[in-house]
Amino acid sequence: MDGIIYIGNKGVMNYVLAVITQINNEDIDTNEIRLKARGRAISKAVDVEEMLKNKFMPELKLKEVIFGTEEVENNEGRKVNVSTIEIVLSK
């Protein structure tokens, strides 16, 4: 699961730093980072990608964006569709 960052409730900078750490980590041989988010966190994933490309690592390239839908069971036991995004960045 190296190279995958799951976007959730933390602040944008936490995820930006996680990406920078993974890219600069010599123990992990990865040229690709995947940002995965669903639901309300999708906009945060886009913010992380934009902040990385515009402020911290302009050499990063947007390789691929994958949109999808997951079926999740809510608190009432009903199945609901939740949008997902996967942003693939490469060096």
Reported pTM: 0.88
Its domain, for residue 31, covers 4-90
Number of domains in the chain: 1
Burial of 26 (0-12, 13-18, 19+ CB in 10 A): exposed
Residues 13-43 pLDDT 10s: 999 999 999 888 866 667 889 999 999 999 9
The CATH code of the domain that includes 12 is 3.30.110.20
CA gap 72, 30 in Å, rounded: 31
On the question of pLDDT at 46 being above 90, the answer is: yes
For the chain, give the mean pLDDT. 92
CA dihedral 44→47→52→55, nearest 10 degrees, is -140
